[in-house]
Copies of this chain bind each other. A is one copy, B any other.
Amino acid sequence: MAAKPAWATRTSVDPESACPIGPVVDIVFSRWTTPILWSLNEHGRQRFVELERRISTITPKVLTQRLRQLERDGLVVRTYHPEVPPRVEYEISELGRSLAPLFAHLAEWAAVNLEQVERARHDYDAQPGR
């Protein structure tokens, strides 16, 4: 068995499982979760219709589901204003904001390496028989 990798040394997750970061990936990077967190962090507190407009390809049904999941996970805070008509706003929580350095790290990896991914794809597709 290989030595415990550096990326597993500071976590309580089980490094022997097929993918110890799986649970975090599901929470933070499942489809539609990232754009919602990004938008709330970037543009601040928003109403449902504002989020819907910004993440233009999301359906209302999926946005509702994802916001509920993010609220349940403690990454988004939902505030109900009992006005007439009632108003509901969503904002990123402190826990959600703690993801910012991780997202920055990811954006940095993209800035450095995305071009190399593009080149690899180009080379792969140019091989005879592809």
Contacts and interface: CB of A to CB of B under 8 A. Distances in A.
B107 A10 contact: yes
Contact of A21 (B22, B107, B120): B107
Q: How large is the interface on A (under 10, 10 to 19, 20 to 34, 35 or more residues)?
A: 35 or more
Copies of this polypeptide in the complex = 2
Contacts of A113: 95, 98
Contacts of A9: 104
| Secondary structure type dominating chain A contacts | helix
A114 interface: yes
Interface in A23-66: 23-25, 27-29, 34-35, 38-39, 41-44, 54-57
Interface in A2-30: 2, 5-13, 15, 18-25, 27-29
